[in-house]
Amino acid sequence: MSDEYGPDIVSVIDEEGREHVFEELDRIETDEGKYVALIPVYDDPEESLEDSGELIILKVEEEDGEIYLCPIEDEEEFETVGNIFEDRLIEFYELEKESEEE
């Protein structure tokens, strides 16, 4: 039986050459570009329990046929994209939105 409906796992190599593994929760495309929302994947279940649960949102950029996931430098762009992901994931997982005071 194939595992075609399993999670989308993404491996990212940072600037120091270390590999980080993430699960892709969602992806969107806006007028500004393409973006992905990721959460870390851990080998040790204890690390998963200790994780903050915050999304990692990165911009998808392509250069010379290679795809790169890059941090979003512009605060306004990050806020806009973050809100889109938050709304989509809240709706998908039927969660309640956290208040701004928390």
Of 80, 61, 62, nearest to 71 by C-alpha is: 61
Half-sphere exposure of 9 (CA within 13 A, CB side): 11
Out of 9-23, 35-49, 59-73, which region has the weakest mean confidence (pLDDT)?
35-49
80: containing domain: 8-93
| pLDDT over 70 at 5, yes or no | no
Domain assignment of residue 73, yes or no: yes
Res 102: pLDDT: 47
The tally of domains found in the chain comes to 1
Residue 70 per-residue DSSP state: E
- The residue among 39 and 42 whose pLDDT is bigger is 39
Please indicate, yes or no, if residue 102 is contained in any of the structural domains.
no
Q: How far apart are CA 49 and CA 89, in angstroms?
A: 20
- Per-residue pLDDT band at 92 (split at 50, 70, 90): confident
Q: Is the pTM of this model over 0.85?
A: no
Spatial strand order of the sheet with 34-40 comes to 8-13, 19-29, 34-40, 56-63, 66-70
For residue 48, pLDDT over 70 is answered with no
Question: Which residue(s) pair with 8 in the sheet?
Answer: 24
Q: In this predicted structure, what is the pLDDT of residue 10? A: 87
Taking 50 as the threshold, does the pLDDT of residue 46 lie above it?
yes
Residue 87 domain-assigned?
Answer: yes
Q: Which pLDDT does position 27 carry in this prediction?
A: 94
Long-range pairs for 41-48: beta carbons < 8 A, 24 or more residues apart: 41/7, 41/9
